[in-house]
Amino acid sequence: MTMNATYKCEHIRKTVLALILFFALGNSVKAQQKAMYTQYMFNGMAINPAYMAVDEMLAVTMLTRHQWVGFDGAPNTQTISIHTPYKTSNTFYGAILTRDNIGEVITETGGNLSLSRRVKIGDISWLALGVNAGVSYFSALYRNTNLPSPTVSSDGTFIDERANRINLGMGVMFFNKKYYLGLSSPHFYYRDISDPRRSYPPTAYRPHFLLQTGGLFKMSADIKFRPSILIKYVDGSPIQFDVNTNVLLKEKFWIGTSYRYMDSFSVLGSIYLTPTILFGYSYDLPNNNVNSAQKSSHELMFQFRLPVKGRNPLACFF
């Protein structure tokens, strides 16, 4: 391939990415979307702080997600979370660090602390309430795109921004050994705390509301079935939902599929390297209006779990 042809191909790639970012970033100003994960069922605290109460062990989960692989500056997200029960009580606490990047334009890095408390309902069920609070640093440098004159947008949409933000969230979950039902808004109060005298408006944000349900069913001595559904609502955006099915084989392998409405199909696979160390991978194939330009997404997950003194690891719910 000649140098001129190589330059043209690179220019086309950047132009396509800029167009995708134009629509993605434009929508984010109207109703900014927080990062979503395909393997959320293995890191429930990221979407509902009350989820910690289903686990009787200390768990550390690391996840990296790379979207639109093949495009320079494509979105990517990294998280590391830890949660644990407090001694032998019905109190649980945890923390999560997140870095979210979109197209070398928008970057947000921050962390949240979470606290959850559960109470028993009847003989076999529990009700948990969780809250989370945190801070983050947000920057939006639209000059890094190929969009025409992004830093002098007449309507104030594409103006470079840097801000410190605070976040408050909450969640509730009902669960037993067979199924769970949860409702949460992990970024319910999400506001800038930077200089109020600045001349440009803060990025618009509306709370995310997440409804989740799922179960774990023993099909045979070697097979367990784990379906789940996640529904996300943000005012000003279409309702989005994930439908997932996962199967556990011989307490060793998780295999599954997922469908995200108007977005993607996914395949998932995880393996227990040891009884307490889990490694997972998911592959997303786009199914939306830009799938001719958008490429696949990949997600890697690593989790290890440790017993807590005075707790029964076999009592973990999911």
pLDDT digits (tens, 9 = 90+) for 241-266: 999 999 999 999 999 999 998 888 99
Residue 218 has pLDDT above 50, yes or no: yes
The model's pLDDT over 35-53, given as tens digits with 9 standing for 90+, comes to 678 999 898 999 999 999 9
Residue 27 φ then ψ, to 5°? -65, -35
For residue 266, the model assigns a pLDDT of 94
Helix ranges (H only) for the chain are: 3-30
pLDDT score at 23? 44
Write down the mean pLDDT value for the chain. Answer: 82
Using a CB cutoff of 8 Å and minimum separation of 24, what contacts does 290-295 make? 290/20, 290/23, 293/16, 293/19, 293/20, 294/20, 294/68, 295/68, 295/69, 295/70, 295/71, 295/74
Task: List the end-to-end C-alpha distance of the chain, in Å, as a whole number.
Answer: 53
Those residues whose C-beta lies under 8 Å from the C-beta of residue 81, and which sit 6 or more positions away, are 43, 45, 46, 59, 60, 61, 94, 95, 96, 97
Structure-token pair, residue 20: 């995708």
Q: Residue 27 above 70 pLDDT?
A: no
Residues 72-93 have a mean pLDDT of: 91
Q: What pLDDT score was predicted for residue 8?
A: 45
Q: Which has more pLDDT, 229 or 139?
A: 229
Comparing 74-78, 174-178, 227-231, which segment has the lowest mean pLDDT?
74-78
Domains contained in the chain, CATH given: 3-315 (2.40.160.40)
Which one has a higher pLDDT value, 155 or 185?
185
Percent of the chain, pLDDT > 70?
75
Q: Which pLDDT score is estimated for 293?
A: 52
What confidence score (pLDDT) does residue 30 get?
39
More confidently predicted of 13 and 277: 277
pLDDT digits (tens, 9 = 90+) for 276-302: 999 999 999 887 655 545 568 899 999
